[in-house]
Amino acid sequence: MTQAHHGDTVRVHLTGRRQDGRIFATTRGREPVEATIGDGKLMSGFEEGVVGMTVGERKSIRVPPEKAYGPWIPELMVDVDKEDFPSNITPDVGKALNVRHPDGSVLEVVITAVSEKTVTMDANHPLAGESLDVDIHLLEVKQAAPISLDG
């Protein structure tokens, strides 16, 4: 049977759960995910879990934070004076906002607290700091083309 290796393109069905059992992602009832192992589009821990699997195989893995969405970083919590908060946005706890940096990059933040004078926003990924459980079903492997060293 065909095994998945670094550089191969794979199609998988997956279900990802937080430690409390809540599902954060699933492809059940939808199209499977297609990705190339090692291109960095998926969590590194997920990619490592797929390597060595054979077509048709199913397995469950636990992905630690450093191989998922990274650690939760306290410095990414920011308090903004309400006076400096855009007047056209109502600051509600749980609201996600896109903040544009001077260099043009965009960062998604979530409002975590609102007081009389400040709005607290969290720029960590919502799954940062969490170990995640992922059920994988490998459906297909398209092997990477061999590298030719001929001139």
- Does the predicted TM-score (pTM) go above 0.75? yes
For residues 35 and 46, what is the distance between their CA atoms, to the nearest angstrom?
A: 11
For residues 67 and 131, what is the distance between their CA atoms, to the nearest angstrom?
A: 9
151: CB partners within 8 A, 6+ apart: none
DSSP state of 129: T
For residues 56 and 91, what is the distance between their CA atoms, to the nearest angstrom?
A: 48
Residues 68-86: pLDDT tens digits?
999 999 999 999 999 998 8
Residues 113-142: pLDDT tens digits?
999 999 999 999 999 999 999 999 999 999
- pLDDT band for 149, please (50, 70, 90 cuts): low
- Identify the structural domains of the chain with CATH numbers, from first to last: 9-70+127-142 (3.10.50.40), 74-122 (2.40.10.330)
Reduce the DSSP state of residue 44 to 3 states and report it. Answer: helix
- pLDDT band for 150, please (50, 70, 90 cuts): low
- pLDDT band for 100, please (50, 70, 90 cuts): confident
Average pLDDT over residues 28-46: 94
